[in-house]
């Protein structure tokens, strides 16, 4: 189940400098899911008054008859202790699935961290195909920022008669 968080949460709490609107992210996920029958999308977090915590969302899925787990990239392992709430509850009740990123050695990361090593029994490591090793929302945001910058730069360098040139970027 893919569950987008509110844009305000992404900007204000996660301090991400760019996020598509709630409607855009939901629409993109639904479009991707059209050709993937295994993929389900819900607007649960977007329609709530407050941004629910991950634990609350996992509980909602459980109550709805699903068997959820938290899926994170290995780049987020170091944030579990200080950047997340209810980590032990999530681990014990639902489990944590970790996808390696940037060819991280997830076993070593977990083993060498005093906090993460207490969660070892609740963490499943999934080997990520090479093509997706560097895929992340942060990487996508960086590329989009480069594109926006290039378009802005072009607008100062290219005569207005060639304004359509920016569409090739």
Write the DSSP string, 79-134: GHHHH-SSHHHHHHHT-EEEE--TT--HHHHHHT-HHHHTTGGGEEEEPPPGGGTT
Higher per-residue confidence, 82 vs 94: 94
Answer yes or no: is 19 within a domain. Answer: yes
Supply 9's token pair. 């949460």
pLDDT band at 118 (very low <50, low <70, confident <90, very high): very high
Interval 22-42: pLDDT, tens: 899 899 999 999 999 999 999
pLDDT of 12 > 80? The answer is no
Does one domain contain both 70 and 113? yes
Answer yes or no: is 60 within a domain. Answer: no
pLDDT band at 10 (very low <50, low <70, confident <90, very high): confident
Does one domain contain both 159 and 147? yes
pLDDT of 162 > 90? The answer is no
pLDDT of 78 > 80? The answer is yes
Does one domain contain both 124 and 75? yes
Answer yes or no: is 95 within a domain. Answer: yes
Mean pLDDT (whole number) for 114-120: 96
Does one domain contain both 82 and 96? yes
- How many whole angstroms separate alpha carbon 145 and alpha carbon 65? 40
Does one domain contain both 74 and 89? yes
Range of the domain at 155: 136-169
- How many whole angstroms separate alpha carbon 66 and alpha carbon 69? 10
Does one domain contain both 116 and 160? no
Query: 141: Cβ–Cβ under 8 A, 6 or more apart, which residues?
Result: 16, 17, 18, 19
Answer yes or no: is 57 within a domain. Answer: no
Supply 50's token pair. 């407050």
Answer yes or no: is 58 within a domain. Answer: no
Q: What is the number of domains present in the chain?
A: 3
Q: Is the pTM of this model over 0.75?
A: yes
């Amino acid at each position: 189940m893919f569950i987008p968080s509110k844009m305000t949460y992404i900007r204000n709490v996660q301090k991400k400098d760019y996020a598509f609107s709630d409607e855009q992210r939901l629409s993109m996920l639904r479009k991707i899911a059209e050709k993937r029958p295994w993929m389900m999308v819900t607007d649960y977090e977007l329609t709530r008054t407050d941004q629910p915590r991950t634990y609350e969302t996992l509980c909602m899925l459980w109550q709805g008859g699903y068997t959820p787990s938290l899926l994170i990239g290995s780049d987020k392992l170091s944030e579990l202790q200080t950047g997340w709430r209810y980590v032990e509850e999530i681990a014990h009740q639902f489990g944590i699935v970790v996808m390696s990123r940037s060819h991280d050695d997830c076993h070593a990361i977990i083993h060498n961290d005093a906090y993460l090593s207490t969660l070892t029994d609740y963490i499943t490591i999934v080997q990520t195909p090479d093509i997706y090793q560097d895929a992340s929302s942060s990487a996508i945001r960086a590329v989009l920022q480069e594109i926006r910058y290039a378009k802005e730069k072009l607008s100062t360098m290219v005569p207005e008669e060639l304004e359509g040139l920016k569409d090739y970027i």
